[in-house]
Amino acid sequence: MGIIFGKRDLMMKITMTAAAKDFLRNHVQPDTVLLLTLDDGSNRYSTLGGSCAIGDKFQFVALTEKDPAYAIPVENDAGIQLWTNADTELYLNNGLTLDRVFNQLALRDDTGILDSAVGLITYSAEEKSKLDLKKEMQTLGTRIC
């Protein structure tokens, strides 16, 4: 993971290119809480699933308030309130970088490209709490591997 050694703990860090920062500024409100999470069916924000998505599908989730399940801060050079969780952190290494390439957000680290089409979804906490993920996944049917 991209880490900075501090006096008390380790902090995850992501560097964002100018193109990625511009995209996020245009699509995310300044006071938004942004999550970096897996999009593999392993969490309440993901509608994908199956072995083909494990560890290689990521998404940003824009929320109106912090989700306590995402308690790991991600330092960034865009001034965004960015958080992740331990499950996602397992797949992230040193040199974490977000770029905008071919009209897509691309996430990479020192090992290479992690996801060349990172999604961005927006929910209020109330909206997401009313969603039934299992029902969503059943509706998606054949799109889930």
Distance (Å, whole) CA 47 – CA 102: 24
Average pLDDT of the segment spanning 27-34: 92
Query: In this model, does residue 55 exceed pLDDT 90?
Result: no
pLDDT at position 123, please? Answer: 75
- Two structure tokens written together for 138: 């059943």
Residue 60, Cβ density class (10 Å: 0-12 exposed, 13-18 middle, ≥19 buried): buried
Tens-digit pLDDT profile for residues 110-139: 999 999 999 999 876 555 555 555 555 555
Tens-digit pLDDT profile for residues 57-101: 899 999 989 999 999 999 999 999 999 999 999 999 999 999 999
8 A C-beta contact, residue 63 and residue 121: no
b/e map of 111-128 (b: 16 or more CB within 10 Å)? eeebbeebbebbbeeeeb
Q: Whole-model pTM?
A: 0.78
The answer to whether domain 3-143 has CATH 1.10.3720.10 is no
pLDDT at position 5, please? Answer: 44
